[in-house]
Structure formats: structure tokens, C-alpha cells
């Protein structure tokens, strides 16, 4: 059972889970996921929480093979200008 402040997040996670991207557990500094039948644990190095000013949240994550990723999720009008113009429809 997922618990979140907003039902949007639960909705997104349930969709991801249905497609095989399953959020399994969270500790203080890690998230364990099953991504297309491979269970992986990611270290959460930093989290910038959602705020109504930024209209997005970000996490900095280290994967098992040491790759560092910044992942960002937010409102369309905030994310779209930050995407690569060549990839926009």
C-alpha cells in the first residue's frame, strides 16, 4: 500500500508498477525498486522537495554501478521549457 501526500504520486507509481517498474521499499537513504524484473537499490544522495514555487521535485541518486543521476518530476509548464527542444513534439 502506497502512502503519499498527493494522490497524483500514488497514481503515477501504480501506473509504473503495472508496467513492471515496482517501487518496493524506502529507507532513509535508499530506494529499492524492481525495474523490469531486476531488483535494484539506489542510494538517495539528495532530495529537493516539491514546492509550489518550483513546481517540481528532484532527487540525486546513485545507482549500484556508481552512476549518478538527477531525476526531476514536475508540472508540465515547468518541465517542458527545461527539455531538449529537439525532442519536443
Partner 1 sequence: MIVISQNLIPIALYASVEIIKMAQAYLIGEDIEMYDERTDIACIPRSWNLGDDLGQVEYVFSDKTGTLTENVMKFKNCTIAGREYGQPEGDWAYKGQAEIWQDTLTILEVKYGANEYAAPEFDFLGVALARTLTSEVKEERERAVDFFTTLCLCHTVFIDHTQLGMTPLAISCRNQSSHIPFFH
User: Residue 5 or residue 66: which is nearer to partner 1 going by CB?
Assistant: 5
- Tell me: does residue 45 bind partner 1 (CB under 8 A): no
Restricted to residues 58-87, the positions that interact with partner 1 (CB under 8 A) are: 58-59, 61, 71-73, 76, 79-80, 82-84, 87
Sheet strands side by side (includes 38-48): 21-26, 30-35, 38-48, 56-62, 68-74
Residue choice 28, 49, 64, 66 for contact with partner 1 (CB under 8 A): 49
* DSSP string computed for 6-46: SHHHHHHHHHHHHTTEEEEEE-SSEEEEEETTEEEEEEEEE
Report the interface residues with partner 1, using CB under 8 A.
1-26, 31, 33-37, 42, 47, 49-50, 57-59, 61, 71-73, 76, 79-80, 82-84, 87-89
Amino acid at each position: 500500500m502506497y502512502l503519499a501526500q498527493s494522490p497524483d504520486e500514488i497514481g503515477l507509481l501504480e501506473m509504473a508498477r503495472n508496467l513492471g517498474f515496482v517501487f518496493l521499499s524506502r529507507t532513509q537513504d535508499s530506494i529499492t525498486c524492481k525495474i523490469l524484473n531486476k531488483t535494484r537499490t539506489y542510494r538517495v544522495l539528495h532530495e529537493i522537495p516539491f514546492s509550489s514555487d518550483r513546481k517540481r521535485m528532484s532527487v540525486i541518486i546513485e545507482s549500484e554501478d556508481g552512476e549518478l543521476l538527477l531525476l526531476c518530476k514536475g508540472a508540465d509548464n515547468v518541465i517542458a521549457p527545461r527539455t531538449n527542444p529537439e525532442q519536443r513534439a
